[in-house]
Structure 1
Amino acid sequence: MKRVGVIGGGQLAWMMGSAATKLGVELIVQTPSMNDPAVSIAQDTVLAKIDDAHATEVLAQKSDVITFENEFVNLEALSLLENQGICFRPKLDALKPLLDKYHQRCYLQELGLPVPQFFALEHQENLLSKIDDLGFPLVLKSRRHGYDGQGTFIIHDLATLQEKIELDKNTNTAFLIEEFIPFERELAVIAARYVDGEIVIYPVVETQQEQQVCRRVIAPADITPEQAIASEAIARTLLDGLQVVGVFGIELFLTTDGQVLVNEIAPRTHNSGHFSLDACETSQFEQHLRAVCGLSLGNPALKCAGAVMVNLLGYETSHSDYQSQRQQLAAIPQAYVYWYGKTESRPGRKLGHITVLLNNHNQNQAEAIAQTIESIWYPS
């Protein structure tokens, strides 16, 4: 039986549980709290922060291979373990260009992939001329540790930009500035790469964000075949360039003139792929375990006409389990409700998700189902 160590014990690791059982894989998680979702499905737990390399050494002793649910790790310390022969999948070299968003942008550019214009906010003497080139609004991003909209700000004027930079001086936050893309819609694609270089790609999806947090995913995206091909080509170029083993999530912009640009890369399973648990032949979580364990990759194709996934986000600070709303959601035809078992709700926190399978690929039907879900979940 293969033993897979997972750095991170959140819902992404928790959702590997059923796939691990199916494949005969044992999961051991490194996570800081016994209340974290994946503790309930793990065969063993190393209780420690995910950037604690000493704990990862303990994790390695219990595991055949180590993978990541969360990429905010201490790469320098983990490199010492990799040099001792500990197997990380993906390899640390595949993570190195991605963890700093400025380095990620530079790497994507080196690969010839289309990205928004950008620059690092390191020297303010050229700031005005660089901003003139981009114009307002523009996007200010923390270079590290941003996710679910954290550390990303839409800036509309110079005074606001200078105020924001000044406020964050004391935190030593490094920033990236990039052009604001007036996109038609946001897209995402999940792709997996095997040890021999084989790549499988899931259907391109549309993601709908509110306050820079994903609220809904519609699969497949209502885009042209050419736009789907361009999205898949981006995924292949990236995964081959990095020599990845495992699943990556790639967030994209579809511009108003029909071009596909790369927004951000997640070097792990991703929220935009949750629909695959119920709508695809092989879920992204099973696919990831297959890749890192050296098992043959599965079929990523849809087994239904389409699906809509809605994140169940916290809208208050409480300790409720929202049983009544969850029962109403479960009563929706062809609905699958996932509750992550988090002990505290707070605004914007991902508490669970629901996927509804569609009998036909209809954008209006998907939107209507999403609105029904949200009318049940969120107080009026």
Structure 2
Amino acid sequence: MKKIGIIGGGQLGKMMILDGKRLDTWFSILDPTEHCPAHSIADFHIVADFDDVDAILRLAEGVDVVTYEFEHISVKALQLLEERGHKVYPSSETLLHIQNKLVQKQWLAKHGIPVPEFLPIESLEDIYEAESRFTYPMILKTCTGGYDGKGNAVIAGHEDAKRAYEALGAGKLPLMVEECIDFEKEVSILICGSENGEMSVFPVAENVHKNSILDETTVPAKISEASRQEAMEVAKACLQAFQACGMLCIELFVTREGHILVNELAPRPHNSGHYTIEGCYTSQYEQHVRAILGMPLGNPGLIRPTVMKNLIGDKNGTADLQGLEEAYRFPNAKIHIYGKETVKVGRKMGHITATGENIEEALAEARGAHDALWFR
């Protein structure tokens, strides 16, 4: 029996375990929350902070390979594991070049991968100097720690720079500024590299965000064949540039001219890849497990058009879900509830996936089920 250790016990870890269990894989997780989503199905749970190096070492000592479900963890801890002979996928080197968004963009540009223009920011004066290079609006970002729109601020004009700078810590955190892309669509693509050198690319997914949080993913993306091919080639270039083993998600902009620019990367399964559980022959979670165990990769192809819609908290309180029976009156809808004990505004609590003969049919099913669910 193979044993996998996961740093993180959220919904991504939970779904990884659900697929991995079909392969009779044993899972240990490390997460500071006792009743995190993956707790109920993990074989062993180390309750410890993500920066607890001793706990991470204990996790590694009991498994064949260590992976992680989010990237805001210690690169030095992963390097220590590798120095002691433990397998870590994606590697510390991969995470080193992805974790910091400025370093990530610099690495992408170095490898000739198309990205929006960007500059490091160390002071308010740096933002003012960026005016000569970028037109407004510009996007100010923290280089580490941001997700779901957190750590981002739009600078609408010269007079707005100070507000944005202060909103993101006034230099207490490393910052960068990017040109604001007038994009046609936001899409993402999942690609997987295995320990034995295989590569597998999933279909291009089209994403719609609300309040900077992913709301809906539709697959296949409604883009031109030329854009689709370009996205596939960019994904392969990214996998090679970062030498990633396991799942890599690349978030992309499709410009008005149909070209592809890389927005951000995540070295793990991703929210926009939830659709693969019902929509593809092999899910992103099974593919990740296969990859890090050195097994042959599965078919990533789409079975039929698929929609994923997130269930996002709109209140703060106990996670008392209502409407499940009504939601299941939509027969093609599959409902995934993560098992978080509390609901918060903007928190991802679950998702709905639906397949159909076409995107419109799948959208109607997913939205219908979604509208029936609420937290009391």
Identify whether the pair has TM-score above 0.5, normalized to the shorter chain.
yes
Partner residue of 1:268?
268
Extract unaligned runs of 5+ from structure 1: none
Match of 2:330 in 1: 332
> What TM-score does the superposition give when structure 2 sets the normalisation length?
0.96
Q: How do residues 173-188 of structure 1 correspond to structure 2 at under 5 angstroms?
A: 173-188=173-188
Conserved 8 A contact 2:127-2:161: no
Correspondence 1:6-21 to 2 at 5 A: 6-21=6-21
Spell out, residue by residue over 1:16-67, the C-alpha distance to the aligned partner (whole angstroms, 9 max, x if none): 1221111111110000011100111110011111222211100011111000
Q: Secondary structure at the match of 2:318?
A: coil
1:312 aligned counterpart, secondary structure = strand
Say which is worse superposed, 125-134 or 181-190, in terms of deviation.
125-134
After TM superposition, the structure 1 = structure 2 runs for residues 1-380 of structure 1, keeping only pairs within 5 Å, are: 1-169=1-169, 172-304=172-304, 306-324=305-323, 326-360=324-358, 362=359, 364-377=360-373
| Structure 2 letter corresponding to 1:227 | S
Alpha-carbon distance in structure 2 between the residues aligned to 1:273 and 1:120 = 30
Q: Is contact 1:189–1:231 with CA below 8 Å preserved after alignment?
A: yes
Provide the rounded CA distance (Å) in 1 between the counterparts of 2:362 and 2:329: 17
Kindly report the root-mean-square deviation, in angstroms, between the aligned alpha carbons of the 2 structures: 1.7
> Counterpart amino acid of 1:376?
A
Within 2, Cα distance between the matches of 1:27 and 1:354?
Answer: 25
Q: Secondary structure at the match of 2:66?
A: strand
> Displacement, 1:198?
1.5
- CA shift at 1:367, angstroms? 4.6
Letter in 1 for 2:290: R
Could you tell me which runs of 5 or more consecutive residues in structure 2 were left unpaired when the two chains were aligned: none
TM norm structure 1: 0.95
The answer on whether the counterparts of 2:56 and 2:77 sit within 8 Å (CA) in structure 1 is no
Does the CA contact (< 8 Å) of 2:28 and 2:42 recur in 1? yes
For residues 346 and 171 of structure 1, do their structure 2 counterparts lie closer, same or farther at Cα, with a shift above 3 Å needed? farther
- SS of equivalent to 1:354: strand
Mapped contact 2:143–2:174 kept (Cα < 8 A): yes
Give the conservation status (yes or no) of the 8 Å contact 1:52–1:74.
no
> Quick one: which amino acid aligns to residue 355 of structure 1?
T
Per the alignment, in what secondary structure is the counterpart of residue 308 of structure 1? strand
- Structure 1 residues 78 and 194 mapped into 2: Cα distance closer, same or farther (>3 Å)? closer
Q: Distance in 2 between matches of 1:292 and 1:151?
A: 31
1:123 positional shift: 4.3
Answer whether contact 1:194 1:291 (CA < 8 A) is retained: yes
Whether the 8 Å contact between 1:317 and 1:344 is mirrored in structure 2 is yes
Structure 1 residues 257 and 351, CA gap change in structure 2 (3 angstroms) = same
C-alpha distance in 1 between matches for 2:267 and 2:51: 16
Give the AA of the match of 1:146: G
State the distance in 2 between where 1:151 and 1:174 align.
11
> CA–CA distance in 2 between the matches of 1:220 and 1:151?
30
Q: What secondary structure, in the 3-state scheme, does the structure 2 residue paired with 1:42 have?
A: coil
Identity %: 35
User: How many pairs align?
Assistant: 375
The CA deviation at 1:327 is 2.5
Aligned equivalents of 2:374 and 2:186: distance in 1? 23
Q: In 2, Cα distance between the equivalents of 1:374 and 1:328?
A: 10
Q: Residue 198 of structure 2 contacts residue 296 of structure 2 at CA under 8 Å; is this kept in 1?
A: no
Query: Relative to structure 1, is the Cα distance of residues 169 and 204 closer, same or farther in structure 2, using a 3 angstrom cutoff?
Result: closer
Query: 1:169/1:275 Cα in 2 relative to 1: closer, same or farther (>3 Å)?
Result: closer
AA of the residue aligned to 1:264:
E
Give yes or no for contact 1:53–1:78 (8 Å, CA) kept in 2: no
Report the AA paired with residue 313 of structure 1. I
Distance apart, 1:129 and its partner CA: 3.1
In the alignment, the residues of structure 1 paired with residue 95 and residue 282 of structure 2 have an alpha-carbon distance, to the nearest angstrom, of: 25
Q: CA deviation at 1:321?
A: 2.3
Contact 1:51 1:72 in 2 (8 A): no
- Cα 1:371–1:83 shift into 2, 3 Å: same
Measured at CA, do residues 280 and 375 of structure 1 come closer, stay the same or move farther in structure 2, by a change above 3 Å?
A: same
